Each structure stands twice: as structure tokens, then as C-alpha cells.
Structure 1
Amino acid sequence: MVIFDHPDTNINDFSKELGVKGIELDLLSESNVVKAIKEAFSILGGFDGVINNAAATGEFMLQKGDAFSPFEDYPLELWMHGMNVNLTGTFLICREAGKYMKSHGGSIINISSTYGFLAPDHRIYKNQKFKSMPSYSASKAGVLGLTKWLSTWWAEDNIRV
């Protein structure tokens, strides 16, 4: 097993604790994703399955700016960051892993969120600093759409998505 995590994390200690290989991965860099998938394939000798579970979380987004500002003031930079991590990152991992899986099949599991198919109840957060980020809901809905699309695209290649 190989796990990926953002370069700002301590992937080496975590992977040693799990007894697996850890690879730093910046999902915002297409070339980094291509390189990381190639390295994982080389280590494993193939892919039977891939799990996409990355998310631009509120804590991380707070470092980028006011992640919980009202929608009318929501910064485009945070919108794009959420979309790039949650949706584009999933797209890149699927695309690159799928290239290796086409010859023998496999499974790809894309983790979305309840907020990907249900809108948050904003009344819950009314008097709190924390609010659901619009980029999170929109990008996780996109993950669901991408997953459905890929499931039919790769069906004949025995890749279950």
C-alpha cells in the first residue's frame, strides 16, 4: 500500500506507523501528480485500487483567508483552492491511475460528502464562526458527477468507479 499526503504534513512518520510507503503529493501540481502516481505504480507493480479522500478543509482554508465569510464576500481565491484540491485533484488522480488500470481493471473510490448532494442547513451555523464553505459543497458535488461519468467511461475496461 502507498499513501499520499500534502508536503506540509509528516507523511514519513505516519506511513512508518502504518507500515506502508508514503509519498508527498501536491494535488495542485499536475506534474507532481503524474510523478507520484508513476512512483506508486513502480513501488507496487500495479494498482488494484485507488481511494481519493483529499479535501480542502476549513482549518486549512482559514490559513488562506476568511474561509467562512458570507457568500456575498467569499473570496475567489478560496473558491478556486477548494475546487482545485477537491475536484481537480480527484480528476488528476483518476486520470493518471486509470492509465495504468486500463490493461487489467481495478477499482477507484472517490470520497465525496453529504454536502455533495444535500445543501447544508445554514440555520445550524447562524451564530457560529464556522459555516459550510460554498466551494466545498460545489466541488464535492462535482466529485459525484465525475465519479458517475468515469463509471460508464471505464466500464468496458473493468475499472469500477
Structure 2
Amino acid sequence: MSEPEDGTIWDLFDLTGRVAVVTGGPGKLGSQMCDALAEAGANVVVASRTYEDCREKADELTDRYNEAMAVSVDVTDEQAVEEMVEEVVDRFGKIDVLVNNAYNASGYGVPFEELTRDEWEQTLEGVLTQTFFCSQAALPAIRESDAGTIINIGSHYSVVAPDHRVYGDSDINNPPTYGSAKAGVIQFSRWLASYLASEGIRVNSVSPGGFYSEEMEDVEDYEEVFVPNYEHRTPLGRMGDDTDMKGIVAYLASDASKWMTGQNIVLDGGWTVW
């Protein structure tokens, strides 16, 4: 492969020297995004409640790519989020990329008529409010960047309702708490994009569809009912895999998307086209 020249696609996707924070970093989607950002050259901060999981992922990234960092944080705790930002700035001096990926949702398997106020409010806090906390706390550090960008993770259920027929008796049917909170994330992203545009800070969101989960294989009706139904309902005929989040986060984090802000990209194999 020839050496890249200034302005080539290789330059546009190059994240060398940039610092990227990924909340929920050790998780299924978070891990993919951490890999993508590190492969593109970024120093990745892996953040979640469980420090050991973060440490394991950060060590892996450091060994394979660039210096990475693990941070334990409860993203619903304002003080904890502020302390996370301080740790990152103490280590790297700035934040270029913030990926708000962590979430905590309640209400799965609960009939709508039986959902409680606590379950509703816990999901709003664990999905929407924490996105606000993290964005607000990280903003001063992002302002130190020449290419600051925030990427918020929504869901295809932030733009359409679930097809309740695909779930069978699995008790994983998507609750109204989740989609409502994720829809709030999309609108918050648009508002923040408009607010920060004059400073050159970009804000976009990604709304992924369903990703296959090995951890769910023992759940009733997951393999036999939900997965085939979901794949049949999806134009590309499959669920998300172990690399499907990588390209989009690398694009949104890099100069390849430097003229894009306030957008929600639906990454769902076509689920929302019909």
C-alpha cells in the first residue's frame, strides 16, 4: 500500500493524537467502537461501572494499538462523571471524541399496564439524563480540541415502534421506557449540534438495530423464535454482528464527517425502511 498523501481518505479517517471516551466501553457495542477508534489511532478511554472490565479492554487496546485508559464511572452520578472527565484530562489533557453509549433501561418483560413510575424514571435517567450529564461535563475538555465531536447512541426504536410479533414468549420485548428515552437522545443530539455549531463542535447520533447476543442464547424463544423472526423482518436478512458498529463510529469521530452535524444515522440492516 502506498503512503497516504495529505487530504486522502486515509488522512480523513486518521485519529492519531486524538482522545476518545467511550461510556459503556466494555459492552457488546462499546467494545466494537473502542476497537475502531483505537485502530484509527486514538487513545481510547474505556469507561463503565465495572472497572475490571474496563481495565481488561484498555489493556487489550494498549497491547494492540495505542495507550488506552480505564475509568470506573456511574454515568447517572453527576459527581462521578465530573471526576471521570478530570481523570481523562489529567492523563491526556483534552477530550476530542465523546461516545455516549452506556445506558440502563427498565421495564423489560413488564406489561405496559404494570409499568411503574420508578421503572419509567430510572430509564429516563439511565438513557437520556446520563447523556446530558456526560456531554455537559465533558464540554470544557472538548472545547480544548481542534476537532471536537460527540456521538450519542440511540436506537432504531427511537424512530419506529417495535414489531411486537417478533418476540414470542422471550420477555425481551422492547418496553416503551427504552424507545421513549432513546428518542429523547436523538432530539438532544440535534439541539446540542445546533448550540455548538458556531464553535466547530459536531454532535451526531447513531441508531443501531438489533445485534445478535450470545448471552441471550439460553433465554426462552430467543434462538427459536426471536432471532429468525427478527432476521426475516430485516431486509438484509440478519442481525448486527461483531464489526457492524466499527465503520460508523470511525466515520463520525473523524474528519471524514467534518461537514456533518445534527444527524441521526440509522444502522439497522434496513429494518426501518418498511
Q: TM-score, normalised by structure 2?
A: 0.53
Q: Note if 1:15 corresponds to 2:58.
A: yes
Give 2:46's aligned residue: 3
Deviations 1:30-77 (A, max 9, x none): 1000110111122111111111111225xxx4xxxx631101101222
- Greater relative contact order (Cα < 8 A, sep 6+): 1
Percent of pairs identical after alignment?
A: 30
The CA deviation at 1:111 is 0.9
Q: How many residues align?
A: 154
| 2-structure distance, mates of 1:103, 1:17 | 28
Equivalent position SS for 2:172: coil
The CA deviation at 1:134 is 1.4
Give 1:33's aligned residue: 81
Give 2:109's aligned residue: 68
Unmatched 5+ stretches in structure 1 = none
| 2-structure distance, mates of 1:83, 1:18 | 32
The CA deviation at 1:10 is 2.5
CA RMSD of aligned residues (A): 1.8
Structure exhibiting the larger radius of gyration computed from Cα positions: 2
| 2-structure distance, mates of 1:155, 1:139 | 24
Query: 1:1-161, aligned counterparts within 5 Å?
Result: 1-7=44-50, 10-19=53-62, 20-56=68-104, 61=106, 67-105=108-146, 106-161=148-203
Equivalent position SS for 2:173: coil
In the alignment, residue 97 of structure 1 is paired with which amino acid?
A
Conserved? CA contact 2:51–2:71, under 8 Å = no
Equivalent position SS for 2:90: helix
The CA deviation at 1:126 is 4.8
| 2-structure distance, mates of 1:8, 1:120 | 33
| 2-structure distance, mates of 1:75, 1:8 | 31
| 2-structure distance, mates of 1:10, 1:47 | 22
Name which of structure 1's ranges 31-40 and 120-129 shifts more when overlaid on structure 2.
120-129
The CA deviation at 1:9 is 5.8
In the alignment, residue 183 of structure 2 is paired with which amino acid?
A
Unmatched 5+ stretches in structure 2 = 1-43, 63-67, 204-274
| 2-structure distance, mates of 1:75, 1:14 | 36
| 1-structure distance, mates of 2:116, 2:109 | 10
Q: TM-score, normalised by structure 1?
A: 0.87
The CA deviation at 1:103 is 4.6
| 2-structure distance, mates of 1:3, 1:130 | 27
| 1-structure distance, mates of 2:172, 2:149 | 35
Equivalent position SS for 1:154: helix
Deviations 1:102-123 (A, max 9, x none): 3545111111110111111112
